[in-house]
Amino acid sequence: MRWTRGESDENVEDRRDEGGQGGGGGFGGGGMRLGLGGLVVVGILSLVFRRNFFALLDTGGGPGPSASVATSRAAPRAPRPQDPREEERKQFVTFVLNDTQRTWKKLFPAIGRTYTDAHLVLFRDATRSACGAAQTSSGPFYCPGDRKVYIDLGFYDELARRFGAPGEFAQAYVVAHEIGHHVQTLLGIEGKVHQQQQAHQNQANDLSVRLELQADCLAGVWGHSTEERGILDKGDVESGLKAASAVGDDRIQKMTQGQIHPETFTHGSSRQRVEWFQKGFTSGDLNACDTFRPSRL
């Protein structure tokens, strides 16, 4: 990708020197969109205990009881020496955050809405969110309770090494997907889905899949704008598609459990994630991302 360094970090909250100060929460509390690392951990637990822990995840939106945990903090740690490679990643995700949000600010007036920025929280090990504890094992996620994206930059090593999805555009896809969840929150989609999940718990997983696939499509809408502006390099699109495929429920379950159980999917299959990212990328149109029509999946 052709990106620029030195972007404004006014929407970036760097907590990397506060590592290990998480608490409360747990997996998925209060609407946390469980990330890739969290899915791997849940898959391993399901395999070891021979119980479907995926079915226990709360995929709803909005802050839950864990948001009221005590706010006392441990003594601040001494700042860690800066890792040039990690600082470069910070520069990159800051650029992607700003670029995706600039794109949505241009698109929202066409639907009669005003876009307001999300914030990005960088952390190590663990930190707090309005959705409970944010942990490295949860992978990147968006919390609708505080409208922030949480990411441990070390996740990108796992994405490249374990899931075979290296490259800058693969990393950008992760941020764009989480901002897609912010778009859903601003449009009221996240809240409506949460209400439906509470009212029809037998449809909770299906609704979660549709919400995640829509976020993939919204990431693709941003990707469309990057191609129009000529900031993609050869191979970038393939890198993004590989990342979307790498985090499909079927692939993760196969890796962690040795078996695939479609009825427990919460994010969609590799094929579905690639298809919906492509829909957004090809069209550049928010209206192409309606995953909630019964016939669309």
Q: Where are the alpha helices (DSSP H) in the chain?
A: 36-49, 84-107, 155-161, 168-186, 189-199, 204-228, 236-246, 249-257, 270-283
Q: What ranges do the domains of the chain cover?
A: 17-296
d(CA 280, CA 224) in angstroms, rounded, equals 7
Closest by Cα among 62, 66, 289 to 194: 62
Q: Mean pLDDT over all residues of the chain? A: 78
d(CA 253, CA 214) in angstroms, rounded, equals 21
DSSP 160-180: HHTT---SHHHHHHHHHHHHH
The Cβ of residue 230 has, within 10 Å, a number of other Cβ atoms equal to 8
- What percent of the chain is modeled with pLDDT above 90? 44
Q: Which helix (H) or strand (E) holds 51?
A: none
**pLDDT recorded at residue 79:** 57
Which two tokens mark 109?
A: 């007036």
d(CA 226, CA 74) in angstroms, rounded, equals 42
Name which of 28-37, 128-137, 206-215, 266-275 the model is least confident about. 28-37
Checking if the pLDDT of 145 tops 50, the result is yes
d(CA 128, CA 14) in angstroms, rounded, equals 13
Which two tokens mark 115?
A: 């876009």
Is the pLDDT higher at 267 or at 102?
102
DSSP 246-263: HT-HHHHHHHHHSS--GG
Binned at pLDDT 50, 70 and 90, residue 42 comes out as very low
Is the pLDDT higher at 194 or at 80?
194
The answer to whether residues 276 and 213 touch, using CB atoms and an 8 Å cutoff, is yes
Binned at pLDDT 50, 70 and 90, residue 74 comes out as very low
Which two tokens mark 44?
A: 């391993």
d(CA 21, CA 287) in angstroms, rounded, equals 41
